[in-house]
Amino acid sequence: MSRFIDPHAPRSLLLADDVVISRADAQRVIEMVVKLSKADAVQAVVRSSRTRNVRFAANQLSTAGIIEDTTLVVTSFIGKKHAAVTTNDLSPESIERAVRKAEAITRLAPDDAEALPVLGAQTYADSSAAWDQATADLDAASVTAAANTALAPARKGTTLTVAGFLVTGADAVAIGTSAGLFAYHRNTSANYTLTVRTTDGTGSGWSGEDAVAWSKLNFAKVSAEAIEKAERSRNPVAIEPGRYTVILEPQAVGDLVGLMPRYFNARSADEGRSPFAKAGGGNKLGEAIVNPMISLTSDPTNPMVMTSPFDGDGMPLTKQSWITNGTLSTMLVPRSWAARKNLVATGNPNNIILGGGSMSRDAMIASTQRGVLVTRLWYLRETDPRTMSYTGLTRDGTFLIENGKITKSIKNMRFNESPLFLLNNIEALGPVRRTANDGPGTQIMPIVKARDFNFTSLSDAV
């Protein structure tokens, strides 16, 4: 008989009433893996999540659900060999099966010349403020009621249709090794994004918020922003594509600058296949790469975007400054590259923070002779890895600024631009915001004003 409905089947090590796996349960699972392991070394990672969501569109509630899952990844190390096995069945029987299977696959795998020892015990920053119990316990009725703050008024009128997504999450991650490492982090998140379209099909506006706690989301503010943008963006006119001064709202900045972290990899640069590769060998560490106003950091302890204080290997994460006053000040050094080149490994960051400035949005607009105000960007894809160039389009609220005022709604435009060039052409930085994206955010971005943004074609899309 299958294990599915076997009344004598071993019980999961998870306690049924936990929202996500607790520190104690995670520790028990990891200790069991370490005890069972016959490999030279073993690493176990437990990830557990419970999310609740509601979608609405065309003024209707469409789908809603609650999803929970817990997975265990066992990585075995034998000599220079290693392999990983993942399962979402956490019964003792299944855990043993995963350990045995990881060992069996490891023995068959070829040697990895760059295999590294598992990490031993580490010290991590406190991340307990990333958890909000009320968000973890939120019920379906509260989320539906929030959806109604946009649905009910839209249905009352005849000029607007709304589409939105509300999602709350509770997540836990734990990592342990046979060398004595144990790390545990849990966090909650609440995210609301809303698109408001005019029923004549000529206007569209977007807004969103993201926070650790449900109680911090301001539904009325999100609705007001999206409605204002939709109404104001009706009947857009075409302007000639070309190089424009732009004011990018924080979401748009995050859409482009948020793509940068992977390019900081020291190995790619040293191998000559990165924008930070130096002709003749080496990388551009210590060189001025963008405007001196720019500082780009990662910091798991920042209260606005508190994230796990360790990466997927259990490496402790601290504040890292990738760009300091325009200079490339740190490169991301993977453990394997650190071992080969005698460098200090940095760990993989979980968030990205672009420092802001003091100029308000209104002041940016008032100081602009002719420019384009952008709400958010869409469908960004790399066009040239040598210069970090991307293409993409504006979306959900694009406006022309003339003589210090927003004068017209304009058609969306495609751009071909690099975040490096954007950050080089900065004229002013404004207040920061935790961006919302289409899911939980891990970025803090300011509104920025920059010159010579490269718009290359018009789009008829609203």
Site string for another protein, 159-198 (x = CB under 8 A): --x-xxx-x-------------------------xxx-x-
Q: What share of the chain is helix, strand, coil (3-state, %, to 5)?
A: 25, 40, 35
Tokens representing residue 173 in the block:
């991650």
Of residues 279 through 318, those in contact with another protein by CB under 8 A are: 279-281
Q: Residue 204 in contact with residue 198, Cβ under 8 Å?
A: yes
Q: Is 32 in the site for another protein (CB under 8 A)?
A: no
Helix (H) or strand (E) holding 99: helix 92-108
Cβ distance to another protein smaller for residue 99 or 353: 99
Of residues 315 through 374, those in contact with another protein by CB under 8 A are: none
Binding span for another protein by CB under 8 A among 157-165, 307-315, 323-331, 401-409: 157-165
Of the candidates 341, 343, 299, the residue with the CA atom closest to the CA atom of residue 444: 299
Binding span for another protein by CB under 8 A among 22-30, 106-114, 177-185, 243-251: 106-114
**H helices of 188-286, where?**
219-232, 250-257, 266-270
Q: Smallest distance, Å, CB 434 to another protein?
A: 19
Q: Which of 15, 24, 66, 129 binds another protein (CB under 8 A)?
A: 66
Q: Residue 106 in contact with residue 82, Cβ under 8 Å?
A: yes
Q: Smallest distance, Å, CB 131 to another protein?
A: 21
Q: Smallest distance, Å, CB 144 to another protein?
A: 5
Cβ distance to another protein smaller for residue 240 or 460: 460
CA 448 to CA 308: how far, in whole Å?
28
Cβ distance to another protein smaller for residue 414 or 434: 414
DSSP output for 432-452: EEE--TTS---EEEEEEEEEE
Q: State the DSSP code for 12.
A: P
**H helices of 174-320, where?**
219-232, 250-257, 266-270
- For 269, residues 6+ apart whose C-beta sits below 8 A from its C-beta are 276, 277, 278, 282, 283, 284, 331
Q: Is 68 in the site for another protein (CB under 8 A)?
A: yes
Q: Smallest distance, Å, CB 49 to another protein?
A: 10
The gap from C-alpha 159 to its chain's centroid, in whole angstroms, comes to 34
Q: Which of 18, 40, 89, 452 binds another protein (CB under 8 A)?
A: 89
CA 191 to CA 437: how far, in whole Å?
9
Binding span for another protein by CB under 8 A among 23-31, 36-44, 81-89, 292-300: 81-89
Q: Which of 18, 40, 41, 100 binds another protein (CB under 8 A)?
A: 100
Q: Which of 137, 139, 287, 402 binds another protein (CB under 8 A)?
A: 139
Q: Smallest distance, Å, CB 91 to another protein?
A: 10
Q: Which of 19, 56, 182, 188 binds another protein (CB under 8 A)?
A: 56
Of residues 431 through 460, those in contact with another protein by CB under 8 A are: 438-439, 456-460
Q: Is 137 in the site for another protein (CB under 8 A)?
A: no
Q: State the DSSP code for 237.
A: B
Of residues 107 through 126, those in contact with another protein by CB under 8 A are: 108-114
The end-to-end CA distance of the chain, in Å, is 56
Cβ distance to another protein smaller for residue 278 or 408: 278
Binding span for another protein by CB under 8 A among 9-17, 292-300, 317-325, 356-364: 9-17
How far is residue 35 from each of residues 42, 44, 83, measured CA to CA in Å? 10, 11, 18
CA 414 to CA 238: how far, in whole Å?
12
Q: Say how many residues touch another protein, by CB under 8 A.
A: 113
Cβ distance to another protein smaller for residue 76 or 298: 76
Of residues 211 through 270, those in contact with another protein by CB under 8 A are: none
Binding span for another protein by CB under 8 A among 123-131, 211-219, 346-354, 412-420: 412-420
Q: Smallest distance, Å, CB 452 to another protein?
A: 12
Q: Is 273 in the site for another protein (CB under 8 A)?
A: yes
Q: Is 379 in the site for another protein (CB under 8 A)?
A: yes
Bridge partners, 453 (sequence order): 244
For 159, the 3-state DSSP assignment is: coil
How far is residue 454 from each of residues 164, 392, 414, 448, 450, measured CA to CA in Å? 31, 11, 9, 15, 11
For 420, the 3-state DSSP assignment is: helix
